[in-house]
Amino acid sequence: MAEIMVLDSKTIDQIAAGEVVERPSSVVKELVENACDAGATAVTVEIKDGGTSFIRVTDNGSGIETAQIRKAFLRHATSKIRGVEDLSRIHSLGFRGEALSSICAVSMVELITRTKDSLVGVRYCIEGEREADFSEIGAPEGTTILVRDLFYNTPARKKFLKTPATEGGYIADLMEHMALSRPDISFTFQINRQTRFSTSGSGDLKEVIYRIYGREIAKEIFPFEASDNGFSVKGFLGSPQLVRPNRNFEFFFVNNRYIKSQVLSKGLESGYQAYLMQHKFPMAYLHLQIDTEQVDVNVHPSKMEVRFSDNRRVFDFLEEQVQKALHDREMIPQVVLDD
Q: Which residues bind ligand ADP (CB under 6 A)?
A: 30, 34-35, 38, 59, 61-64, 72, 77-80, 94-100, 143
Q: Return the number of the residue (32 or 318) whose C-beta is nearest Mg ion.
A: 32
Q: Using CA atoms, how far apart are residues 280 and 282, in angstroms rounded to an integer?
A: 7
- State which of residues 13, 20, 29, 34 lies at the interface with Mg ion (CB under 5 A): 34
Contact 267, 319 (CB under 8 A): yes
Min separation Cβ 31 and ligand ADP, Å = 7
Q: How far is the CB of 78 from ligand ADP (least distance, A)?
A: 3
What dihedral angle (degrees, nearest 10) is formed by the CA atoms of 77, 121, 52, 184?
80
Measured from each CB, the residue nearest to ligand ADP is 94
Phi (first) and psi of residue 329, to 5 degrees? -85, 5
Which one among 21, 27, 64, 99 touches Mg ion, defined by CB under 5 A? 99
Q: Does 27 bind Mg ion (CB under 5 A)?
A: no
- Whichever of 35 and 263 has its CB closer to ligand ADP, that residue is 35
Contact between 94 and Mg ion by CB under 5 A: the answer reads yes
Residue/partner pairs of 86-92 with CB below 8 Å, 24 or more apart: 87/298, 88/292, 88/293, 88/296, 89/292, 89/293, 90/292, 90/297, 90/298, 91/255, 91/292, 92/37
- Nearest approach in angstroms of CB 307 to ligand ADP is 19
Closer residue to Mg ion in complex, CB, 102/321: 102
Residues sharing a CB contact under 8 Å with residue 271, sequence separation 6 or more, in sequence order: 318, 319, 320, 321, 322, 323, 325, 326
Report in angstroms how near the CB of residue 14 gets to ligand ADP at its nearest.
16
Give the DSSP letter of residue 83.
S
Q: Contacts with Mg ion: how many residues (CB under 5 A)?
A: 3
CB 21 within 8 A of CB 31: no
- In the bound complex, what is the minimum distance in angstroms from residue 80's beta carbon to ligand ADP? 4
- Could you report how far apart the first and last alpha carbons of the chain are, in Å? 70
79 binds, among ligand ADP, Mg ion, none (CB under 5 to 8 A by kind): ligand ADP
Query: What residue ranges bind Mg ion (CB under 5 A)?
Result: 34, 94, 99
